[in-house]
Amino acid sequence: MENRLTEAKAAMLKGELAELEFTGEMKQNVLRKVRPGRKGPVLSKKIIPSLISAALILLFFGGMYEFVLVPHFGGNNHGPAANPGNKGVIPDDKEANDNEKLPEDSENVDTEQPVPDVEPGVDDSKGDNSNPSDHLPPEAPAQPDVMAILVTFSDKLNSLFEQDRFIPNSDYKYRDFSTKEELYGELAGLATRGVYEQFDRLFKETSDGLYLLPQGRGLFFLPDEPYETTKISDTEYQLVQKIDSIMYGPNYTISVTVTYVDGSWLITGTETKE
């Protein structure tokens, strides 16, 4: 290197630079120029554009993934295929219905609907106007006073045995009744026909009228003596009374059954034991 510098100096001395003298600083500058060193600026100029290009490529493919691939598989909530706030969402069944094709020849499609069978005389257009309370089960009637019903019936029956009911000196011929049916009309609303017939033995119906046979009376019971009332059902009760009687004996028992019929409590059965 020293030889080269010496030769270069000699050459310059021969020309216009004959008066020029290399200093130490100039020598160092020449060495820096000639000595191979770092090429930082040159490399930077080549690498930076490459990095920018790579970034743009990544952004491009990232956008393709975000806007094309992901919405296609239904896994994205962003981009043009996203649906913020679920606005305008079309249900799957709606899309399926929209995709169904109508028959090409729609004019030939039979649009008539089957007519439902309607029974003659029934007008379905009026609907069911019945009162809901009509379908409710009837309320159970209040518990009756069986003894009071029995007393009323017995009083009415015994009134048929009073003297003013008969024609005088006629062997107990009734003044106002010619048949048993007319007489039983006096007891209407208190007992059923089966109870009336239990007293048929007390009356005799002939061609000239109705007679009372003097062979006993009606029911024997004591309203002021103890008795028991038993509920058989909501519409049926039974009264039982045991009496120590001189006429009927110490074990006389009377049983009376009342039943709720057509809104009224009627005596439907009587039985006596001695």
- The continuous run of DSSP H or E covering 208 comes out as none
pTM above 0.75, yes or no: no
pLDDT at 54: 79
Give the CA angle between residues 90, 95, 97 to the nearest 5°.
130
CA–CA distance, 19 with 23 (Å, rounded to integer): 13
Sheet architecture: strand order including 264-273: 228-233, 236-245, 249-261, 264-273
pLDDT at 87: 47
Q: Which of 37, 25, 36, 27 is nearest to 6 (CA)?
A: 27
111 bridge partner residues: none
Are residues 195 and 267 in contact, defined by beta-carbon separation less than 8 angstroms? yes
Low-confidence spans in the chain with pLDDT less than 70? 1-2, 5-6, 8-22, 27, 30, 33-46, 63-137, 216
Q: Which of 241, 240, 233, 239 is nearest to 260 (CA)?
A: 233
243 bridge partner residues: 252
Are residues 240 and 227 in contact, defined by beta-carbon separation less than 8 angstroms? yes
pLDDT at 46: 66
**10 Å Cβ neighbour count for 267?**
24
Phi then psi dihedrals of residue 231, to 5 deg = -85, 120
CA–CA distance, 126 with 53 (Å, rounded to integer): 81
pLDDT at 89: 47
Question: DSSP character for 104?
Answer: S
Percentage helix, strand, coil, to 5, in the chain?
45, 20, 40
pLDDT at 9: 61
CA–CA distance, 79 with 66 (Å, rounded to integer): 7
pLDDT at 69: 57
pLDDT at 30: 63
pLDDT at 219: 87
CA–CA distance, 37 with 29 (Å, rounded to integer): 13
Give the CA angle between residues 104, 110, 115 to the nearest 5°.
155
pLDDT at 120: 55
